[in-house]
Amino acid sequence: MLFLKQIRATGFKSFADTTILNFTKEMIGVVGPNGSGKSNITDSIRWALGEQSNKSLRGSNMDDIVFSGSVGRPAAEYAEVTLVFDNQRDIFSTLSTDIVEITRKFSKKNRESEFYINGVKCKLRDIQDIALETGLTKSSIAIISQGTISRFAEAKPDVRREIFDEAAGVAKYKKRKLETQRKLEKASDNLLRIKDISDEIGRRLPTLKKKAEKAEKYKHLAEELQNIELAVLAKDALTYEVELEKLRTAKRSLEIKTEKLANEINLSQDELDVMLSKSSSTDIEINELNSSFQKIVERVASLKTQKQKVDSKESEKHSEANIDEIKAINLKKEYDEKTISLHSEKDLVASFEAQEKEAKREYDQISDSFERIHLKRQEIESEKNRLQFKLDDINQRARTSSISASSGAKNIIENKNRLSGVVGTVESLISVKEEYHVAFSLITGNHLQSVVFKTDEDAKKAIEFLKRNNFGRVNALPVSTLNPSSIAEAQKQVIKKAPGFIGFANELIEIKENCQVVLDYIYGTAIVTKTFDDAVRLGRSINYRYGIVSLDGQRVMPRGAMSGGSVSKATNIFAARRVDESINPETIAKNIQTLNNLYEDYQKEFNALRESREKSSVKIQEIMSNIKVSKFSITSLESNLEVLSENYKILTGKELYGDKNVSFSNESESIRISREIAKLESQRNEISVKLNILSNSRTQNSDRQHEINKDNKEKRNTLNEWKDTLASVKSDLNMMENTNIMILQKLSEKYNLNLDAVRQMSFDVIENVEQTRARILELSMELKEIGDVSIDSIEEYKGEQERFDYYDVQLKDIQEAIEKLESIIADIDIEMKTQFKKIVDDVNAALPEAFKKLFNGGTATLIYTDPDNILETGIDIDVQPPGKIIQNINLLSGGEKSLVALSVLFSILKVRPLPLVILDEVEAPLDVANVTRFAKYVREFVDVTQFIIVTHREGTMENCDILFGVTMQTKGITKIVNLDLKWDVIKKLLKN
Ligand code: ATP
């Protein structure tokens, strides 16, 4: 079969000129002297078909294939070879053209090979692919040299099998098997590695699981505890807030009431004292007046006796007078006496009226003062009440804004020098920028008054100091032992990118004295954002793991609760504290005390004025009643005088005093005495009025004293009752305040919440508080029992379990892959065995004939050296040359060995034909007869195989269809001559 139709070579090795070899016959002989360039033809075929190995091209680099020049001929710049194939039998299965031209060109300049198929540029890979189909690159029997022959004949059986492997196409299986084995090895390594890791994780998992389960249980219980404890604490805090306020109000009103009552009692006591001293002076006055009164009465009595005597004497003077005259004298006398009484009475009325006027003026004056004092007293009372209210309000605010721990803190700071390791209050250590005041006011809780200590021992001593001295409570933060919660670094990186993120609270403010751990402790899990929206968004994205506060004081609490609304000035706990005396409780208390004293003074004055006014009123009444009496007496006397005057006129017929007024110029002794009596009686009446006034006043006084005493007794009883109630209220309040402090401290320390925040939040509804408290206790005990846990172990276990599962899946996958690979290898082995066995069987079938033809008799058989292991068995050849019994192939002569090798190689070629085979002086060791037999034998293959036979042997040449003579007429440059079997020319050529 004609397959390779033409070789065109330019600049390839010794083909300096363009050299064309046209092959028109199947059995082509190439002849020529040594070194003329015969083998360069084979090289050119292999080079064009993509050979990359410089060594197999007999060079050291690719430049060596380019013509290197000769005497008088410069080196070529490039080498180019084109092979023209007949593809009518579709040897190149992928190419549809009948003629296939393959070209390779190498330029020394760019040191690159270019490939072309049918003139179309292609890649090396494309050439290599189609070259495989020529067998020239894959089969070692496509180019058979003398070396091939001797290597095959003398090789060890296991090396010899290689040619059968190759012929059986086992190489590709071997390659696949090797690849698969490599994969298997890799997979096994992987399996071991992953198994190691998986075992390691597997060993740790049970412990980790236990830890995680413990932590999970702890977390679960802690969450339940936190929920209900927080709800109960909040409920308690809010209830206590109301109850405490009620008690404080009750205490306040009781204090005011008791103080007022005690004051009242004191004042009444003062009043009583004043009254007692006054009543004794009144008694003295009454006694004096009584004595004067008595004297006057006695004098009047004596005067009256004297007058009787004078009157009898005067009556004796008128003893001769008749009855009418005597009657007239008596009438006149009586008239005179009554006139004197009338005058006296009128004087008395005038005096009383003057007294009344004075008394009324005095009353008005007292009333004015009384009203003024009354008003003043009211003013003081209302001012006092205003200040008291203000003081209560300030104290109340002070209580709500800071729990009483501050008093403990204050005492510790004041005794700093006596205690060790006191760093200061948080308030004194931190500095918060104004823009963060509101946000930090809300997340600082009650920590502003917490005291920072160097060590826990310092804190312990300070607390013992407070306890010993009953100096209040303190929240202590020992730097050495604080164990702050924090946000994981990975989480931080995510949070930092959130919109509106301002910072992590513990990084936004500063603290003195290297106390960063204090900030970490108070603010370690708090985040500050610009707006509430930012806080809500961030809360959602971190699944509410940490607390967030916006600059305007709105909060998103851990676990999703929210707290917010308006903020007042009071919310800002960092605002500079101004010293404002008007809100200084001590100043207010002092002012209240001053007002109390003033009030007491006014009250005394008020009481005194009230009494004076009452007295003055009584006096006026008394005077008025006496005026009335006197005026009645005057009317009665005047009417008597009229009657007397009338009677006198009837009796005497004369007017008693005519038109003249009564004149007493020459009055009688009796009249004088009457006048004195009237005067004295007038004095007596005046004294009587005074006595009445004084006696009334005394009665009033004693009634008042009695009343005050009775009143005071009742008041004292009430006061005692109130004092008892106040004491019990105070003790209740104290107890409640202590409990409240504990509640607020727990809220602050454990949940970082203050009352403001609690008020704004909603909590779980507690149905049964007592049951819930019992549950809290139960949970606390359970948690204590569980002891130390690591919450991180939950995540750690989850992660490790996931890793374990992942590696488990990996292991299974790898195991599956290994099984698959092993089955592939098994399949490959089966296939290799089958193929190998088949080729050996096929060759064994063809071998006797080939052997017979080449040896002219005898036979040969291929033998497995290890029939039980076809995959690795070597191949031995059992040969029986005609007439000889041979034990070992090595015992054969060189020529015989070549014949054995050729018979096997040609048997292979028989059962696995190739389109082109190059034989390079393979028959050289044979004798003439064997050469001819060999050449004839070759001819038997030409129907399916084209042969290019490089030879020096005539027997071969004679059997070739065509001979090409290779010469170097010009030194170093190969020239090809078509010899057309012209023997003379051939011989001449060979002689050269
Ligand atoms: P023998 O019968 O001894 O095997 P041969 O006819 O097969 O010899 P080759 O091996 O084909 O000879 O040719 C070798 C010749 O090719 C040498 O003379 C060598 O100088 C020449 N040659 C090899 N490479 C180049 C090259 N790059 N440039 C010029 N000449 C080269």
At residue 157, does pLDDT exceed 60? yes
C-alpha atoms less than 13 angstroms from C-alpha of 972 in its C-beta half-sphere: 13
524 known member of a binding site: no
Say if CB 859 and CB 851 are below 8 A apart.
Answer: yes
With a CB cutoff of 8 Å and minimum separation 6, the contacts of 781 are none
Residue 404 has pLDDT above 50, yes or no: no
Rounded mean pLDDT, 556-582: 69
Give mean pLDDT, residues 178-207: 92
Atom of ligand 1 nearest to the CA of 40: 11
Axis crossing angle, helix 170-317 with helix 792-855, rounded to the nearest 10: 170
| Residues in CB range of 862: below 8 A, 6 or more apart | 164, 840, 843, 844, 847, 875, 876, 877, 878, 904
Per the CB < 8 A criterion, the answer to whether 419 and 458 are in contact is: yes
- Give me 273's structure tokens: 């004292």
Which of 77-91, 595-609, 977-991 has the lowest average pLDDT?
977-991
Tell me whether residue 242 is exposed, middle or buried, using C-beta atoms within 10 angstroms of its C-beta: 0 to 12, 13 to 18, 19 or more: exposed
Residues with CB under 6 A from ligand 1: 13-14, 32, 34-40, 64, 67-68, 966, 972
The answer to whether the annotation marks 61 as part of a ligand binding site is: no
The pLDDT value given to residue 992: 56
Amino acid residing at 92: F
978 labelled ligand-binding: no
SS3 state of residue 327: helix
pLDDT digits (tens, 9 = 90+) for 511-534: 887 889 999 999 999 999 999 999
Reported confidence tier of residue 715, pLDDT bands at 50, 70, 90 = very high
pLDDT at residue number 662: 59
pLDDT tens sequence across 670-688: 888 888 888 898 888 889 8
Output the furthest CA–CA distance in the chain (Å, rounded). Answer: 247
- Regarding pTM above 0.75, the answer is no
CA 929 to chain centre: 102
Q: Under a CB-based contact definition with an 8 Å cutoff, are residues 350 and 634 in contact?
A: no
Look at ligand 1, atom 29, and give the residue with the nearest C-alpha: 14
C-alpha triplet 412, 413, 417: angle, nearest 5°: 90
* pLDDT level of residue 891 (50, 70, 90 thresholds): confident
Q: What is the pLDDT of residue 958?
A: 87
Residue nearest to atom 12 of ligand 1 (CA): 35
The span from the CA of 896 to the CA of 793, in Å, is 83
For the stretch 412-428, pLDDT in tens is: 888 888 888 999 988 88
pLDDT at position 701: 83
- Residue 408, annotated ligand binder? no
Q: In the prediction, which pLDDT does 139 show?
A: 66
Confidence band, pLDDT 50/70/90 cuts, at residue 593: confident
Quick one: pLDDT band at residue 409, thresholds 50, 70, 90? confident
Q: What is the pLDDT of residues 323-369, one digit of tens each?
A: 888 888 888 888 888 888 888 889 889 988 998 999 999 999 999 99
Q: Ligand 1 centre from 974 Cα, in Å? A: 8
pLDDT of 402 reads 46
Average pLDDT over residues 876-895: 85
Q: How far is CA 275 from the centre of its chain?
A: 78
Confidence bin at 577 (pLDDT 50/70/90): very low
Mutate to test the pocket of ligand 1, among 7, 10, 12, 14 (most ligand atoms within 8 A of CB): 14
| 456, pLDDT greater than 70 | yes
**Number of CB atoms found within 10 A of residue 910's CB:** 19
Task: Answer positive or negative: Cα dihedral of 450, 453, 459, 461.
Answer: negative
| Shortest-distance atom of ligand 1 to CA 43 | 11
Distance separating alpha carbons of residues 195 and 201, to the nearest angstrom = 10
Distance 53 CA to ligand 1 centre (A): 18
The stretch 278-304 carries a mean pLDDT of 90
pLDDT averaged over every residue in the chain:
87
Report the candidate in 574, 532, 576, 523 with the shortest Cα–Cα distance to residue 552: 532
How much is the pLDDT for 13?
A: 94
Q: What is the pLDDT of residue 985?
A: 66
Q: Is 11 annotated as a binding residue?
A: no
Share of the chain above pLDDT 90, in %: 38
What average pLDDT score do residues 825-840 get?
A: 92
Report the top-level CATH class of 433-573: alpha beta
Q: What is the pLDDT of residue 579?
A: 45
- Look at residue 195 in the predicted model and tell me its pLDDT: 92
Closest approach atom of ligand 1 to CA 36 = 6
Q: Are 903 and 860 in contact (CB under 8 A)?
A: yes
pLDDT band (50, 70, 90) for residue 660: low
Rounded CA-CA distance 180/183 in Å is: 5
pLDDT at 661 (0 to 100)? 60
From the list 564, 560, 534, 530, the residue with the least C-alpha distance to 547 is: 560
Contacts of 490-495 with C-beta under 8 Å, sequence gap 24+, read 491/542, 491/545, 494/541, 494/542, 495/527, 495/538, 495/542
CA distances from 411 to 463, 467, 470, 472, 530 (A): 11, 11, 10, 8, 38
308, pLDDT greater than 80: yes
Query: Of 1, 190, 11, which is closest to residue 103 (Cα–Cα)?
Result: 11
Compute the average pLDDT of residues 608-614: 86
- Select from 7, 40, 61, 969 the residue to mutate for testing ligand 1; criterion: most ligand atoms less than 8 Å from CB: 40
pLDDT at 650 over 80: yes
